[in-house]
Structure 1
């Protein structure tokens, strides 16, 4: 772990000292005319009286020098006040600097071991981030993990709603008041009314099945991707109705996966046309770049925590690691990982770790960054139930940071896997739906798991419960 530079601490506190001194000097100069008469009157007292007063002040506050008044001279009284105050401020702040340094060093010492176990540090990342912020994030995550308990997700029967049409994509808004489902070529909008899920609107702009849905958290918008090769931006109007806002055309194959960055000014799309497209928000949305390194269908996409890297997987047994350049903000492929079996799902855990689920296998691969060459390599496997049955490409993997839960569909099962403090993974629950035709989504806070499967033909909601 790279420790905070002592010289940087000194520079920062010296800057604060100088700033404080300048402010005090300015205040003294501005108010000198107002107190001049009082100070002259004070200086006309006999020195004996002054010494008595000074002695009394020293008894009440030993930190104040009682001889200050005796050292002042009439001819340069204002300057001497500033000098004396400067001396006092510097002594006080020097002590504060020393205390802060000791506290900071102690904090580093206490968290260093836990931090090294939690994350294999990427040196280039540390150089570009504030070290104290990294320590704070590490401590917060460690505290969060230590408070986590075993859990399961319990079905809420009253919120299940019958849905005969296939629902390939599901999403919920940030305050869990609206649920949308891609039912064949329609988007059905549901609201939670007095705790019960009720359908309120149907949107029919897409010509073919809808495979992906994403709500925006900073505005009343969501995006949809379809087999008709298009992406649509939807907005809510003043009448509380969802309306078509913009259609993004450019792909020549089905849209299978969509991502939004945290700033919600970039959309990334993966398609059956082998392409990954970046859509930039300006006056509307425009395609700003296309990645063409895949040689078959693109099934999965995931951003890292820092949002400067993207991973993708497809039907070509390749995982792409794509990075955004600082200078021109263009995205470039920095690593191609060849895997033995193609996969449909992958998910960043943090900046240095991601998971990849090989198609039909009974394990999930874990990839971690090698600190020496900054390349991702497979380091371990997580055993899961799959039955080695034919799967489908929808229902993307998610990592819920607040609860340290990885959500992964494998065959007819949904595995809920907890990342432990030592970096190991443990399956907390595996839900068997009895069918591979299973689609769903977990809310960002990990409170609700929402699914549709062909066996129950229901949109089902399960709630997080600690044991």
Structure 2
């Protein structure tokens, strides 16, 4: 158990005096945001001529409130640290077990080799008999006697083969045990990561009641070519967007955009874009059936890879894994492709193709530990794949839905919960919640999020992926004519905290990674609009 934490107030008793330097002890504390430090402290002399409508609390009570808060904070920190230490100790025990197994097998293999050498030495120490007269006869006839040499070679070969078999078997057994130990270690690390996410989620829920305001930045940029995709780099100073079959790169500063250059390479409309987090490389998917990787050479120059055309129809969605070594793509050809992404060499290598869907796949999402993959599409089905011990994706099942609707967007909010958005004209406009129960995802109809129902009958388009910022407890969803911002509530349900209505359903956009800005292009106005997202 870790050492008990202590809470120590920085200020001394002498520091707690009123701003007028009276010698009387402090009696009251003024809860006024306009005042600072000692201005908020009132002694008995100050109280004689002090007038205010703001809240005032006695010093003794304030000190008690602060003490209670500190005690709760220390208890929370102490439990948090102890729980993490317990998890790390389990991981440490796995390291020790791997080390013990490794030392044991190495010692065993060294012992084998010593016995092996000993057996060969015993052969060398054997007394060899021969006949003097037989040897003379062989010399006279100029003949060589090789039988004994052949016997010795045969015996040594048999000995070597026997010990090679024993050694190989021990190595194979170790390899099998080693894989099991490594798999268990990975599970323990994933549990630690998941627990941290859960702990963060509890903290994030404090943001539930804070408002989300949207401030329009008057910086409209017109673009007459269709924009179907927008993405920001990790630090939010670069934005890329589709411009027909080209890609525009924008300088992005404080919500103001300035076009830097236009990248050419694709031969049809850009449908999806995603930046890498580690640098300003990005990946594009197009209606020309191809995926391209783009590596930044300098601020105004990107190099395109070859077009990867393993899909046979337009690309609908692309996802990068957290370590940015794997790319997942979905297409109207009904397939999902799994790629190895070499960010340094700016290339993709196809690893696996998932072909269980019967229709176009509109959206794909990975859970936080990247062990579950979910996809939805035009066949009114939600499909699940799980990653096996060999890091290959295996098809699991189709999720049961309360209403048969085709899905346009899907997104995990934690390891065991994802949200799904329908796209039909006639169906009820809503976001549905699916939670994992005993290994199976089940729709939780009590958490369904009702969206706006307009008189206008329009489809929801699949582009403009859902974004979730866990630190801000903020979910961004575009559905039909609306852009919605949602937050999770204390009861685990989700609430719309702000929304924007547009003139058409062709709205494509994205948030910056820190959720400070929203940028989107709307087809009827042919403009990029930027909003500052004001949250607490």
Scaled by the length of structure 2, the TM-score of the pair is 0.61
Within 2, Cα distance between the matches of 1:462 and 1:435? 18
Within 2, Cα distance between the matches of 1:244 and 1:129? 36
Aligned partner of 1:150 in structure 2 is 211
Cα distance change on mapping 1:375 and 1:125 into 2, 3 Å: farther
Matched, 1:379 2:451: no
Gaps of 5+ in 2: 4-74, 84-183
Which 10-residue stretch deviates more, 142-151 or 415-424? 142-151
* Structure 1 residue 455 displacement after superposition: 2.4
Matched, 1:352 2:416: yes
CA contact (8 A) 1:385 1:410 kept: no
Which 10-residue stretch deviates more, 450-459 or 343-352? 450-459
Of 227, 233, 239, the match for 1:167? 227
CA contact (8 A) 1:182 1:211 kept: yes
CA contact (8 A) 1:162 1:459 kept: yes
CA contact (8 A) 1:402 1:446 kept: no
Aligned partner of 1:320 in structure 2 is 383
* Structure 1 residue 329 displacement after superposition: 0.8
Q: Secondary structure at the match of 2:260?
A: strand
Cα distance change on mapping 1:174 and 1:239 into 2, 3 Å: closer
Aligned partner of 2:312 in structure 1 is 252
How many residues of Structure 1 are paired with residues of Structure 2 in the alignment? 351
CA contact (8 A) 1:386 1:413 kept: no
* Structure 1 residue 389 displacement after superposition: 1.9
Query: What does the per-residue CA deviation read over 1:297-316, in whole Å, with 9 as the maximum and x for residues that have no partner?
Result: 01001111111211100111
Within 1, Cα distance between the matches of 2:394 and 2:268? 32
* Structure 1 residue 153 displacement after superposition: 2.0
* Structure 1 residue 419 displacement after superposition: 1.1
Aligned partner of 1:412 in structure 2 is 481
* Structure 1 residue 143 displacement after superposition: 2.2
Cα distance change on mapping 1:453 and 1:194 into 2, 3 Å: closer
Cα distance change on mapping 1:242 and 1:134 into 2, 3 Å: closer
* Structure 1 residue 135 displacement after superposition: 5.1
* Structure 1 residue 104 displacement after superposition: 4.2
Cα distance change on mapping 1:244 and 1:448 into 2, 3 Å: same
Within 2, Cα distance between the matches of 1:314 and 1:162? 32
Aligned partner of 2:264 in structure 1 is 204
CA contact (8 A) 1:317 1:338 kept: no
Of 506, 518, 524, the match for 1:437? 506
CA contact (8 A) 1:415 1:431 kept: yes
* Structure 1 residue 192 displacement after superposition: 3.1
Cα distance change on mapping 1:221 and 1:127 into 2, 3 Å: closer
* Structure 1 residue 125 displacement after superposition: 12
Gaps of 5+ in 1: 1-8, 14-99, 109-123
Within 2, Cα distance between the matches of 1:172 and 1:103? 38
Cα distance change on mapping 1:278 and 1:184 into 2, 3 Å: same
Matched, 1:342 2:406: yes
* Structure 1 residue 277 displacement after superposition: 0.2
Query: What does the per-residue CA deviation read over 1:174-197, in whole Å, with 9 as the maximum and x for residues that have no partner?
Result: 111111110111111111368642
CA contact (8 A) 2:235 2:513 kept: no
Within 1, Cα distance between the matches of 2:463 and 2:387? 26
Q: CA RMSD in A?
A: 2.7
Within 2, Cα distance between the matches of 1:177 and 1:298? 31
Within 2, Cα distance between the matches of 1:147 and 1:238? 39
* Structure 1 residue 107 displacement after superposition: 7.0
Structure number with larger C-alpha Rg:
2
Matched, 1:216 2:276: yes
Matches within 5 A, 1:40-59: none
* Structure 1 residue 394 displacement after superposition: 1.0
Matches within 5 A, 1:422-433: 422-433=491-502
* Structure 1 residue 103 displacement after superposition: 5.0
CA contact (8 A) 1:169 1:211 kept: yes
Within 1, Cα distance between the matches of 2:350 and 2:286? 17
Aligned partner of 2:372 in structure 1 is 309
Within 1, Cα distance between the matches of 2:185 and 2:375? 21
Q: Secondary structure at the match of 1:168?
A: coil
Flag the structure with more relative contact order, 1 or 2, with Cα contacts below 8 A and sequence separation at least 6: 1
